[in-house]
Amino acid sequence: MTPSADLVISGCTILEPGLTFRDGATLVVRDGLIETVTGAPAPAAVRHIDARGQVALPGLINCHTHASMVAFRGLAEDLPTEEWFNDVVWPVEANLTARDVALGARLACAEMIRAGVTCFADHYFAMDEVAAAVTETGLRAHLGQAFFSSQGARGRAESLEFALRHRDGAGGRITTALAPHAPYTVTEADLAATAALAQEHGLPVHLHAAENRDQTETSLARHGVTPIDVLERTGILDTDVLIAHGTGILDRDLPVLARARGRVSVATAPRGYLKFAWPTTTPVRALREIGVPVGLATDGAASNNSLDVWEAMALTALVQKSTTGDPRWLTARQALDHAGPQSARALGLDDRVGTLAPGTRADLILVDLTGPHTQPVHDLAATLVHSARSADVRTTVVDGRVLMHERELLTVDVPAVVEELTARLPALQERGHGRRVQEYDI
């Protein structure tokens, strides 16, 4: 006799690989994996969720964030990039303690679970605390300890130590990367050494590059090369590299990216580009033409104001239509492709998440479409991308474990985290010391 499944979800519509929808689906989850997707009646299970009227989607993936920066949400508003960094963010980050990062990470995990995010790529400081928050809250994460060359050799060494210490942590839910900050804050020698470490230890790299057009133009003026050229000549493009933003990627960079020997991917976080009034956005269409996957992201809440990947999905569609001048491009279906398969590829996790198929990890969300704002349904992909909102996610499951059910968070005590974090804010936001973790001087 077959023992009971761990979790069965029945009666839902499911987004299957190939971006097709199937109605009346029954998902059977065992040992953290999706065992079957059928139209059969629900078998016996330890836990059964009746999901009639709901849509099962792959959990959203936040491909580039700084989770703990939720502590700075709303602190640096309506500022140009340089002032945002130099006058607010980098001064207050000089105050950060491990406890601040721990609390911020827990609050961020709560926000993401409620928004249907099941995995996030984080790039920050005191990352042991983020790994602990991931372990505790049940999310999946791709973590890297950030470093600047201004830290000397110690920064790179600690990034490596973190990556090795936490690789395959939290029962396999944590993967790691080396995390140099960006070509304008990390020297070419340091990038080259990072690339060598990545090769030696089989680690990917996650960094900011060509974030905006100014950075690219300054790099060209000062050094005669673009940030993407720097990644190539330092060997970073020979590794599996996740590039955050890339709104400053030029046409001349495309063949460079196309010939990269590593797996190159880009994370796009369009809300911040609008808010900073950057003149360009991530060239998603051009990257598609050279086969570079583009994952969805929110960046940190200090610029994006939320970790709402659902909003990033809709904005990616809208901003891509607008910037290409083509309303037919980046359809709702393509947006779902970026949200699931492409985001999973961007993090090198497409062997386990990003699509709902037997054998993949059970990272999924259930979305309620019975609200008046999502009815009637003429085109389910359009309803999901353009009418539904993150608040329509009712249930969030990672590795077969239910982290939110009927919008109730099951693994984070939000009021306790907010209370302790709020008490720490006066010290955290103090800028009278005049210090910064780094200088924005592209």
Residues that bind its own copies (CB under 8 A): 70-75, 77-81, 107-108, 110-111, 114-115, 271, 273-279, 301, 305-308, 317-319, 321-322, 324-329, 331-332, 370-373, 375-379, 382-383, 386-387, 389-392, 409, 412, 414-415, 418, 421-422, 425, 429
Q: How far is the CB of 361 from its own copies (least distance, A)?
A: 24
Closest CB to its own copies among residues 104, 235: 104
Lookup: tokens for 336: 């779902």
| Residues near 434 by beta carbon (within 8 Å), at least 6 away in sequence | 91
Report which of 14, 181, 173 is spatially closest to residue 109, judged by C-alpha positions. 173
Place of tokens 């920066």: 69
Closest CB to its own copies among residues 38, 324: 324
Closest CB to its own copies among residues 37, 107: 107
How many whole angstroms separate alpha carbon 353 and alpha carbon 367? 18
Spatial contact of 79 and 45, defined as CB atoms under 8 Å apart = no
Q: How far is the CB of 275 from its own copies (least distance, A)?
A: 6
Spatial contact of 142 and 205, defined as CB atoms under 8 Å apart = no
Q: How far is the CB of 441 from its own copies (least distance, A)?
A: 19
In this structure, which amino acid lies at residue 163?
Answer: A
Q: How far is the CB of 377 from its own copies (least distance, A)?
A: 7
Closest CB to its own copies among residues 18, 426: 426
Closest CB to its own copies among residues 98, 414: 414
Spatial contact of 377 and 386, defined as CB atoms under 8 Å apart = no
Closest CB to its own copies among residues 48, 389: 389
Q: How far is the CB of 332 from its own copies (least distance, A)?
A: 6
Q: How far is the CB of 246 from its own copies (least distance, A)?
A: 17
Q: How far is the CB of 352 from its own copies (least distance, A)?
A: 26
Q: Terminal CA-to-CA distance of the chain, rounded, Å?
A: 65
Spatial contact of 305 and 336, defined as CB atoms under 8 Å apart = no
Q: How far is the CB of 174 from its own copies (least distance, A)?
A: 21
Lookup: tokens for 46: 């330890």
Lookup: tokens for 338: 């970026």
Spatial contact of 75 and 430, defined as CB atoms under 8 Å apart = no
Kindly state the helix (H) or strand (E) to which residue 20 belongs, with its residue range: strand 20-30
Closest CB to its own copies among residues 108, 177: 108
Closest CB to its own copies among residues 75, 290: 75
3-state helix, strand, coil in the chain (%, to 5): 40, 25, 35
Q: In this structure, how many other beta carbons lie within 10 angstroms of the beta carbon of residue 390?
A: 23
